[in-house]
């Protein structure tokens, strides 16, 4: 269950980042995924929540690094 919650969270995050670009069907899917994620997460025991938070934190750091390298290009000088 914790793995499924984490999998869904990883799918939700990029969708939220691009929310304004989502069509109505995708926004509905996002809403459903968010509810499914929240239900799963709330059902986790404290130990599983700690695992989830640790795994998500590691993944999110990598996600931000990649997003930064892709979308924020450093200046190449004069």
Nearest to 30 by CA among 18, 44, 42: 18
Joined tokens for residue 69: 């390298």
Q: Please give the Cα distance from 14 to 62 (Å, whole number).
A: 13
This prediction's pTM: 0.81
So what's the pLDDT on residue 69? 82
Quick: pLDDT tens for 12-68. Answer: 999 998 999 999 999 999 999 999 999 999 999 999 999 999 999 999 999 998 888
Whole-angstrom CA distances from 54 to 11, 21, 40, 45 are 17, 30, 17, 14
Q: Please give the Cα distance from 42 to 5 (Å, whole number).
A: 10
Q: Please give the Cα distance from 8 to 34 (Å, whole number).
A: 8
């Amino acid at each position: 269950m914790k793995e499924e919650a984490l999998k869904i969270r990883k799918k939700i995050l990029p969708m939220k980042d691009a929310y304004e670009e989502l069509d109505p069907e995708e926004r509905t899917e996002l809403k459903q995924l968010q509810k499914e994620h929240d239900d799963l997460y709330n059902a986790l025991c404290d130990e599983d929540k700690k695992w989830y938070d640790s795994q998500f934190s590691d993944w999110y750091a990598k996600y931000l690094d990649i997003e930064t390298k892709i979308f924020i290009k450093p200046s190449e000088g004069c």
